[in-house]
Copies of this chain bind each other. A is one copy, B any other.
Amino acid sequence: MPKRVDHARRRDEIALVACRAVARHGFARATVEQIARAAGYTTGMVAYYFDSKQEIILAALRLILRRMDQRLQRPPAGPPRDGLLEVLTEALPIDAQRRIECAFWTAFWGQLSADPRLKRLNAWVHREYRKLFERCLAEQWPESRAWSAGVRGQALRSLITFLNGITTSAVSSPRDWPARVQVRQLELHLALLRNWARGASAQGITE
């Protein structure tokens, strides 16, 4: 019997290496050749799985999204705190793996103005992330389901903005952003946002 190759796994493996390569060497310098070498494959082998660098990047985005989705569904560990804080912390560059993912994001964002194809990918990935965080909000702050669509939208937007801000800040100035500072900053933001949304809902604000 011929040896069976797990193609899905191999695609994931290449995508993961691509993610690291982009995080380390920047978007432009992470070529297909370089990714293949780092993965221990020939360029031909990588070409068997992916038609272009664009496709590898798409696979990397999908992989990160899937991992994030899995992490966000994990039950919170440790003493009970705000559940939303627990799950959103998963999106921050607080350890080696997440730092790579966040450096990848920052490199990806940095390339968007220059590349219309990446812009289209971003529109898709942005919608997916929004859905993911929307689900977290509904699950972790059940009260938010009773907020007006305007208040909920505003809270969600503020939350994603803040996560993007920490990502960018922590990737560009890692010394200023140890994990506990990131978490503390997010904790404050969530507390302020929750208070505001409660107040706005109580006052019947529907903006």
- Please list the residues of chain A having a beta carbon within 8 angstroms of any beta carbon in chain B: 23-29, 103, 106-115, 122-123, 126, 154, 157-158, 160-169, 171-173, 176, 181, 185, 188-189, 192-193, 195-196
Q: Separation in Å of the A126 CB from the closest CB of chain B?
A: 5
A192-B196, A196-B192 known; A112+B172 contact, CB < 8 A: yes
Contact A113 B171 (CB under 8 A): yes
Contact A23 B171 (CB under 8 A): no
Copies in the complex: 2
Are the C-beta atoms of B172 and A109 separated by less than 8 Å? yes
Q: Which of B110, B113, B165, B192 contacts A192 (CB 8 A)?
A: B192
- B168–A168 touching, CB < 8 Å: yes
- Cα distance A112–B157 in the bound complex, in angstroms: 26
Interface of A is mostly: helix
Contact partner of A158 among B110, B157, B189, B196, CB < 8 A?
B189
Residues from chain B with a CB closer than 8 A to the CB of A29 are 28, 114
- Taking CB atoms, residues of chain B closer than 8 Å to A113 are 23-24, 26, 103, 106-107, 171
Residues on B with C-beta less than 8 A from A162 are 161-162, 165
Residues of B within 8 A of A160 (CB): 165, 169
Contacts of A24 in B (CB 8 A): 113-114
- Residues from chain B with a CB closer than 8 A to the CB of A123 are 173
Q: Which residues of B contact A28 (CB under 8 A)?
A: 26-29
Q: Are B188 and A161 in contact (CB under 8 A)?
A: no
